[in-house]
Homo-oligomer: A and B are copies of this chain.
Amino acid sequence: MSATDELLANNERFARAFPGPVSGRPSLGVAVVACMDARMDVYALLGLTPGQAHVLRNAGGEVTEDMIRSLTISQHELGTTEIILIHHTQCGMQTFTNSEFKAKLEAETGRKPRWSSLAFTDLDADVRKAIARVKASPFLTCTRTVRGFVFEVETGSLHEVR
């Protein structure tokens, strides 16, 4: 049995206890942008329940063009007005450089990506860059409440980056 099959069996149990549908319009008006890291259950660590917020995740929790696309849809089509950005300690994105990653990928696949891995070194600086990218987008018109945090994988706490 693959891990995917195990998770599908979990979903069968979940569906049997499903409490019923909720609205697709985020009731808290919040969009969360977080790293894909396996240690972060974003619903649990923010105490979210279904229907309250959009959750967007990629490697690093970076504000890429695809994140801008998603956040623009979140604000203009589904009415969110607050953005929470979450990076975390011990991030895999700090364990290699972009050029190291490209060289490794070329050795393993014979191809070099045209995109950057977006590896970074300074965690707080990367959160500030993410905040700045949201604020600089002409399409994200609700930027009054854009706040960035570091999740401590050691303690479960969020610390704000100012």
Given contacts A7-B84, A21-B39, A109-B141, contact A15 B92 (CB under 8 A): no
What CA separation (Å) do A25 and B113 show in the bound complex?
Answer: 23
A161 within 8 A of B: no
Whether the pair A15, B155 counts as a contact (CB closer than 8 A) is: yes
Report A143 CB to chain B, min CB distance, Å: 12
Write the residues of chain A forming the contact surface with B, with a CB cutoff of 8 angstroms. Answer: 2-4, 6-8, 10-15, 18, 21-31, 36-59, 62, 64-70, 72-74, 76-78, 82, 84, 90, 92-93, 95-96, 101, 104-105, 108-111, 113, 115-118, 138-139, 141, 145, 147, 153-158
Q: Pull 16 A–B residue pairs with CB atoms less than 8 Å apart, ordered by A.
A: A2-B82, A4-B147, A7-B46, A11-B156, A14-B47, A21-B154, A24-B38, A37-B54, A38-B53, A42-B55, A43-B43, A59-B74, A62-B66, A66-B115, A77-B92, A77-B96
